[in-house]
Amino acid sequence: MKYKKEQLDFLNWEFGVFFHFGIRTFYEGHKDWDMKAMPLDGFNPSGLDCGQWMRVIKEAGAKYAILVCKHHDGFANWPSGYTEYSVANTPWKNGNGDVVKEFTDACREYGIKTGLYYSPAEFGSKDKINTDYDEYFISQISELLTNYGKIDYLWFDGCGSEGHEYDTRRIIKAIRGLQPDILIFNMWDPDTRWVGNEDGYANMPNSLYAESTDFSVLTETKEALGAEKFLPAECDFMMRERNWFYSDADEDTVKSLDELIGIYHYSVGRGANMLINIGPGRDGLLPKKDSERLTELGNYIKKAFANPIPFELSESGDSYICKLKAPGLVNCCVLQEHEENLGITGRFSIKAYPRHSGTPITVYESKTIGHKAVCRFPPFFAKKIEITIEKTKSGENAAKIGDISLHFVK
């Protein structure tokens, strides 16, 4: 089954950061769909520095970033010509500011792939919109895809759209016409899919193929795709426990490094992308504690896989045999499928050969490799590691492993 080059690029990004920032940043205690008013005069991020955001996430190893341009409240982080509820009518920079421009400029300055989030649904829309909703939708998306250069990723949130009928064919035609190479998240004509929870965990098996997508946290209804598609998963979650947007009340809930390491292994380690949300503060800067924890995670990832164990590789049928140049402790094997046959591997096993003699011991079994499988197991003093592909995706060519590395991760 074929896939787009951009989908492979997406998998190679692996790790991104989500920025929920907007009018709600300035109204403590508001929740999704609470319908409470948030007056425009409250928005004034006097120290906004998207360059600071990018410096932090680049140091942590993130490859892409996503900015909330319009959340469910309808506030536009750019001076949209289709709503009065935007940065153009706030005290910030006397109405001359544009968060989307500052964000996209900073992404390009620091070499970070650029993603924009847009909530199709919004509360209070009847009071704010003077045209039909599909026209409003397309007009705003067109502003975002016309005025800010190349956008790599467009992130649609299904929350609030349950049961609503959009003119999806018209919407997608407009998007693909403006930016043919853009990746679309999860809805209508998706290139990537939501993993189905907001805690950062991919299940096992985690296939690169899907016939439907999970639509929203508010419904168990799935959106049928009509046929099986190549559709990588993305695992989004909050750095803090209770809020996507900044809150004074939840600094004590910033996730521990141990929890973040676990999420990394359950997302990137299972062939999905990891998307960590941080809510920039009311000063327009990333909070210190969140930034430090993100940096700690980045340092862990760099250190854990910086010094792979040397081995000599040989192949025998469906097995890949790694003879260690010096027998020693191994507790992690990182596998990647060959690009030509991505997503073909079904069940596979990893066996370790004891240092002296005897039959090999199975240390790990699973059902998918995909882009990357980070296979952790208790430390084993081995002289040889053998990876065997025991099953392939029905009707497909033989599976091929493109890359293998062995590690002792502390």
Q: Which domain holds residue 367?
A: 311-407
Tokens representing 215 are 């639509």
| Banded model confidence at residue 397, pLDDT cuts 50, 70, 90 | low
Contact residues for 315 (Cβ-Cβ < 8 A; gap 6+): 321
Q: What angle do CA 242, 183, 52 make, to 5 degrees?
A: 50
CA distance 247 to 234: 25
Higher pLDDT, 31 or 219: 31
Q: How many Å from the N-terminal Cα to the C-terminal Cα in the chain?
A: 38
Residues 391 and 259 in one domain: no
Number of domains in the chain: 2
Q: What are the pLDDT digits (tens) for 11-22?
A: 999 999 999 999
**Amino acid identity, residue 286?**
L
Q: CA distances (Å), 226 to each of 129, 233, 257, 310, 387, in order? A: 33, 18, 41, 46, 35
Residue 189 has what pLDDT? 93
| CATH number of the domain encompassing residue 258 | 3.20.20.80
pLDDT of residue 181: 97
Whether residues 297 and 361 fall in one domain = no
Tokens of 321: 């045999």
Q: What pLDDT score does 329 carry? A: 98
Mean pLDDT, rounded, of the chain = 93
Among 281, 304, 327, identify where a domain stops: 304
Q: Is residue 265 located within the same domain as residue 319?
A: no
Q: Scanning the structure block, which residue is given the tokens 């790990």?
A: 364
Measured CA to CA, the distance from residue 76 to residue 96 in angstroms comes to 13
Q: What pLDDT score was predicted for residue 111? A: 98
156 with 180, same domain: the answer is yes
Same domain, 159 and 246: yes
pLDDT at 377: 97
Could you tell me the pLDDT band of residue 280, with boundaries at 50, 70 and 90?
A: very high
Mean pLDDT in residue range 342-347: 85
What is the predicted pLDDT for the residue at 365?
Answer: 95
The residue written with tokens 């995909």 in the block is 370
Same domain, 230 and 122: yes
CATH number where 377 lies:
2.60.120.260
Out of 274, 304, 334, pick the residue that ends a domain: 304
pLDDT digits (tens, 9 = 90+) for 31-75: 888 889 999 999 999 999 999 999 999 999 999 999 999 999 999
Q: Are both 225 and 363 inside the same structural domain?
A: no
pLDDT at 353: 97
Same domain, 292 and 323: no
Residue 370 sits in the same domain as residue 242: no
pLDDT at 127: 54
Residue range 100-145, pLDDT digits in tens: 999 999 999 999 999 999 999 888 655 555 568 889 999 999 999 9
pLDDT computed for residue 356 by the predictor: 87
Can you tell me the distance from the alpha carbon of 347 to that of 216, in angstroms, rounded to the nearest whole number?
A: 30
What pLDDT, on a 0 to 100 scale, did the predictor assign at position 292? 98
Give, to the nearest 10 degrees, the angle between helix 50-60 and helix 288-304: 30
Mean pLDDT of 18-32: 95
Residues 192 and 208 in one domain: yes
Per-residue pLDDT, 130: 53
Of the chain, the percentage scoring pLDDT greater than 70 comes to 97
Nearest CA to 251 out of 274, 275, 278 is that of 278
Distance CA 38, CA 42 (A): 7
Cβ within 8 Å of residue 371, ≥6 positions away: 11, 12, 208, 232, 271, 336, 337, 342
Calculated CA dihedral for residues 291, 296, 298, 303, nearest 10 degrees: 160
pLDDT tens digits along 266-278: 999 999 999 999 9
Q: 322 and 232: one domain?
A: no
pLDDT for residue 129? 57
Regarding pTM above 0.75, the answer is: yes
Domain-terminating residue out of 263, 283, 304: 304
Banded pLDDT at 222 (limits 50, 70, 90): confident
Is the model more confident about 321 or about 219? 321
pLDDT at residue 11, as a whole number:
97
Element (H, E) at 140: helix 133-146
> Edge-to-edge strands of the sheet including 64-70?
183-185, 153-156, 113-118, 64-70, 15-19, 273-278, 233-238, 193-194
Q: Which two tokens stand for residue 232?
A: 């990588």
- Residues 279, 377 within the same domain: no
